[in-house]
Structure 1
Amino acid sequence: MSGTLPERRSIPVQRAKGCPFDPPPELSELRETEPVCPVTMPDGTDGWLLTRYDDIYATLRNHETFSSRGELRTSPIGTMLFARRPAEVGNLAAMDPPDHTRLRRKLQGKFTTKRVARLADPITQIVNERLDEMERMGAPVDLVETYSLPIPSLVICELLGVPYGDREEFQSRTASLLKVGSTMEEYGAAIQGILDIIHELARHKRAHPTDDILSELAQDEELSPEEAAFLGLALLVAGHETTANMIALSTFALLQHPDQLALLREDPAGRIDNAVEELLRYLTVPQFGGERAALQDVEVRGRQIKKGDVVVPALMAANRDPECFEDPHTFDIGRSAATHLAFGFGVHQCVGQQLARVEMRIAIPALLERFPTLRLGAPADEIEMRTNSFVYGVAALPVAW
């Protein structure tokens, strides 16, 4: 591409008023006019924002050119820690193959479709217990606090084998990961606190194993105690934050689209799989798909990206790309949206994606069945959104019935 390089700009994060489910409108404009856009990261470093599906797909699958290793820095949004600590053993987010492959394999086998399907009964029990609690409390309630946040947290406790006596503290610490407005220091402290708990639990399970994933990791002679603990943390992050936000935000979206809600209510068993994939595409709560650093000079769509430059994939823009999805800004649970990039792609694709799907497939229909008259407990334009978080969602969602 010839000509002068456009001036670097900030990454667009401001959503249009009254459009809580749509990406920032500037992303759509950039996808058409500047799909590989020079940007300045919140920490002052130079970067490139990708907004087209094909470019993002190609970047995420090419770990040989675009590395996940990097120094600790802020996220593209600037207010939350982007947790990459190359010096720490076992941090999958900061590793490339072959080291990444060796450790990811330890988790991946525990999240096969068949194995996750066996979790349906315990997940259903957790969901029903939360619905009973909502019914006991009576309307209105905050769906985030009473339902969408506890479910994945309790499921993770089951998977990790967190003792019942420690689950309240564990839930409290995991809830802090979703706190709006956390500073880098606060978020880092929350991550470290959880890691300390998992590390201590893994040490105990190495000597006294029980029937859970953390015991399996702790007993694995190929893993160091530090690696086992970090893999436990990876399991927590992969299966918790995204799911908690998706359950609440999906409920909000369905309540704001009564035609789609009616379709799902008509045939929940037949439509929930498609509905979940469309919700994942339409909402794309991991707004940006993890930064990558160029390992060499490379050209993307005519732009010269230099070795060491940061590349930021805007997943929410990719999942609204009209080249890949017809009428992409329309929420349609009848479409086939399985090619979405809501879980990323390539070697760093979310290891807990099947678990997240199962939790959504159980939690959303169960909520709608238990409360047939479910409705928002506040005007839609008063719902506080988590715009300043790496994972998008609602800070609270008051509901009534």
Structure 2
Amino acid sequence: MAEDTTTLAGQPPPPVRDWPDVGLQGTEFDPVLAELMREGPLTRIRLPHGDEDWAWLATRYDDVKMITNDPRFSRKEASVRQFTRLAPHFAPRPGALAWADQPDHNRLRRAASTAYTVGAVKRLRPRAQEMLDELVDAMVQDGPPADLIERVLEPFPISVVCEVMGVPADERQKVHTWTREIISTAGGAEASERAKKGLFGWIAQAIRDRQDGDGDDVLSLLGGAVRSGELKEEEAVSVAGPLQIGGEALTNNSGQMFYLLLTRPDLMDRVRSDPASRPAAIDELLRYIPHRTAVGLPRVALEDVVIQGVRIRAGDPVYVSYLAANRDPDVFPDPDRIDVDRDAGAHMAFGNGPHYCTGAVLCRMQIELLIDTLLERCPDLRLAVPADEVPFRQRTMIRGPISLPIAW
């Protein structure tokens, strides 16, 4: 990285700000990120791990949108250096979708994409509703109080993603244990590496076993792609892993959504009494919830690029914050307020550009089912403990409640 990076006006670069892995409560917006947003559209950050000293951070909506669509910023180049980062362990797998640039990215994504189309998700919806009804039936039969995370919000996304992936029922708990360990930062590099080794080894064997099959689950589709030579086995495994881990994100995102509904009576009343408002409410909640800690994956500038009067040098690492983009007041006025009547459809909760979340349609479908089913089956759904007694995950990349005690 070029330490002489300057603004076009000849000013020195902004100071490097440390961004510690701090504990955040509830749906609190990260105060460090809020401060960085106030400092300017482009700042410099240092995260707890990594060898290189700093990276750029873009927080403005238009800049985030540009960077994530611009081929001058490469994910592939970012996979070979130990940038400053949140995760304690960084060892990208060869062929990983998240670290691919075009045209490789489309080639890798295409092999599994048919399982995530609007049509495929629509066909899956009745089966997903059946799985959800079974969970809610059991919870209602046992009676209140109940932990909504344990009874519904954790097993439902796991069951759905395993259904899409083709994970047998008797293997799902083992796979879930691995994915939970991977997204945690608490166990350190050794625990994360053990979990990755277990999960990716299991996936590799599953893909080998299905190379001659004709199933429409993701592991079978990837097995077929390996058989046809479209993908190498290592690439197929690298595509499958993050798709499997995606179920964890939905547990935490939906947990935050229900926490907000359960702690804001006006919001709950609106969503409960006005089903037609629910699609807009989901977009607004997706915009609002702080779904992750700090930032995601970096990119590297392949050439000098000027943004907001700042010259980013070739070779500089650049992070974007979708959380900050979703709170840009120029796009979402009064962004710290939940407003069901605003048009929040342009939010970036699922990312942007070529790396837009593969499972976005699937995720949206599950959220719709969860809200419709739980509000209809439990019309007086409420918290069973004071809001400040709901425990939230600490030292994890994906934020959300550990448990959500409810009554009805």
Q: Does TM-score exceed 0.5, indicating one fold?
A: yes
CA separation of 1:370/1:81 partners in 2, compared to 1, >3 Å: closer, same or farther? farther
> How many positions carry a matched residue from both structures?
393
Distance apart, 1:104 and its partner CA: 1.3
Q: Is the 8 A contact 2:88 2:185 kept in 1?
A: no
1:6 aligns to 2:14 (yes or no): yes
Query: Residue 101 of structure 2 corresponds to which residue in structure 1?
Result: 96
Q: Is the 8 A contact 1:79 1:388 kept in 2?
A: no
Query: Residue 368 of structure 2 corresponds to which residue in structure 1?
Result: 361
TM-score (ref. length: structure 2): 0.88
Q: Is the 8 A contact 1:60 1:66 kept in 2?
A: no
Distance apart, 1:134 and its partner CA: 2.0
CA separation of 1:169/1:12 partners in 2, compared to 1, >3 Å: closer, same or farther? closer
Query: Residue 278 of structure 2 corresponds to which residue in structure 1?
Result: 272
CA separation of 1:201/1:399 partners in 2, compared to 1, >3 Å: closer, same or farther? same
1:351 to 329, 338, 358: 358
Q: Report the residue type matching 2:350 in the other structure.
A: F
Q: Is the 8 A contact 1:73 1:81 kept in 2?
A: no
CA distance in 1, matches of 2:140, 2:185: 27
Q: Is the 8 A contact 2:183 2:397 kept in 1?
A: no
In structure 1, the residue corresponding to 2:160 is in which secondary structure? helix
Q: Report the residue type matching 2:200 in the other structure.
A: L
Identity of aligned residues (%): 35
CA distance in 1, matches of 2:141, 2:199: 31
In structure 1, the residue corresponding to 2:64 is in which secondary structure? helix
Query: Residue 50 of structure 1 corresponds to which residue in structure 2?
Result: 58
Deviates more, 1:41-50 or 1:91-100: 41-50
Distance apart, 1:126 and its partner CA: 1.1
Q: After superposition, give the CA deviation of every residue in 1:252-304 in whole Å (9 maximum; x if it has no partner).
A: 01111211111111122x22211211111010414524211222222221223
In structure 2, the residue corresponding to 1:206 is in which secondary structure? coil
Q: Is the 8 A contact 1:37 1:50 kept in 2?
A: yes
Query: Residue 328 of structure 2 corresponds to which residue in structure 1?
Result: 321
Query: Residue 169 of structure 1 corresponds to which residue in structure 2?
Result: 174
CA distance in 1, matches of 2:84, 2:397: 7
1:21 to 19, 27, 33: 27
Q: Report the residue type matching 2:14 in the other structure.
A: P
CA distance in 2, matches of 1:351, 1:115: 13
Distance apart, 1:115 and its partner CA: 1.8
Q: Report the residue type matching 1:114 in the other structure.
A: G
Distance apart, 1:177 and its partner CA: 4.0
Q: Report the residue type matching 1:359 in the other structure.
A: Q
Query: Residue 269 of structure 2 corresponds to which residue in structure 1?
Result: 262
Q: Superposed, which structure 2 residues align to 1:1-400 within 5 Å?
A: 1=7, 2-11=10-19, 14=22, 20-42=26-48, 43-45=50-52, 46-69=54-77, 70-71=79-80, 73=82, 76=85, 78-79=86-87, 81=89, 84-85=92-93, 88=94, 90-177=95-182, 179=184, 181-220=186-225, 221=228, 222-237=230-245, 239-268=246-275, 270-287=276-293, 288-400=295-407
Q: Report the residue type matching 1:7 in the other structure.
A: P
Q: Is the 8 A contact 2:300 2:316 kept in 1?
A: yes
CA distance in 2, matches of 1:176, 1:137: 30
Q: Report the residue type matching 1:332 in the other structure.
A: D
Q: Report the residue type matching 2:238 in the other structure.
A: F
> Gaps (5+ residues) in structure 2?
1-6
CA separation of 1:280/1:102 partners in 2, compared to 1, >3 Å: closer, same or farther? same
CA distance in 2, matches of 1:182, 1:334: 42
Q: Report the residue type matching 2:96 in the other structure.
A: N
Deviates more, 1:333-342 or 1:389-398: 389-398
CA distance in 2, matches of 1:142, 1:177: 24
In structure 1, the residue corresponding to 2:18 is in which secondary structure? coil
CA distance in 2, matches of 1:98, 1:373: 51
CA separation of 1:121/1:385 partners in 2, compared to 1, >3 Å: closer, same or farther? same
In structure 2, the residue corresponding to 1:299 is in which secondary structure? strand
Distance apart, 1:81 and its partner CA: 4.3
Q: Report the residue type matching 1:71 in the other structure.
A: V
Deviates more, 1:257-266 or 1:209-218: 209-218
**What is the RMSD of the two structures over their aligned residues, measured on CA atoms?**
2.3
Q: Report the residue type matching 1:119 in the other structure.
A: L
Q: Is the 8 A contact 1:39 1:48 kept in 2?
A: yes
CA separation of 1:74/1:384 partners in 2, compared to 1, >3 Å: closer, same or farther? farther
In structure 2, the residue corresponding to 1:330 is in which secondary structure? coil
> Gaps (5+ residues) in structure 1?
none
Q: Is the 8 A contact 2:44 2:55 kept in 1?
A: yes
CA distance in 1, matches of 2:66, 2:158: 33
CA distance in 1, matches of 2:167, 2:344: 35
TM-score (ref. length: structure 1): 0.90
